[in-house]
Amino acid sequence: MTEILTAEVIQALLGLATVVATGAFAWYRAKYTEAAEQGDLIMSSARKVWELIKAVYGSNEKASLYLTQGEAIMSSLEAGWADSRTKTPEMEEYYQQLLAVATEIGNALA
């Protein structure tokens, strides 16, 4: 067995291990960097939508219940954004809930 494990074979095995480890790290980094960027995009969009809703309907008393719901959703969205265990589909679900509240406000006050 020792005659098979020459310096060149050991060097080749270490080189192969380095290539595999580098590829795995690149895959991991790309996957989680993309997820972080998607989360940032969703959070940015949600903040803009929520700012517009509050600017338009913030002074309307009829909208207060909807605004309270929206604030709760935004809190959940921000907590999920800060928590690395929250996945992109969950962030998108919060965002869809926020858009649903925006639609309800528009329908109720139209």
Domain count for the chain: 1
Residue 4 lies in a domain: no
**What confidence score (pLDDT) does residue 94 get?**
92
**What confidence score (pLDDT) does residue 31 get?**
67
Residue 12 lies in a domain: no
Residue 10 lies in a domain: no
From first CA to last CA, the distance across the chain in angstroms is: 82
Q: What is the pLDDT along the chain (110 residues), one digit of tens a residue?
A: 557 777 777 777 777 778 777 777 777 776 667 777 788 888 999 999 999 989 888 888 888 899 999 999 999 999 988 887 778 888 899 999 999 998 888 888 87
- CB contact at 8 A, 103 and 57: no
Residue 16 lies in a domain: no
The domain of 83 spans 36-109
**pTM above the 0.85 mark?**
no
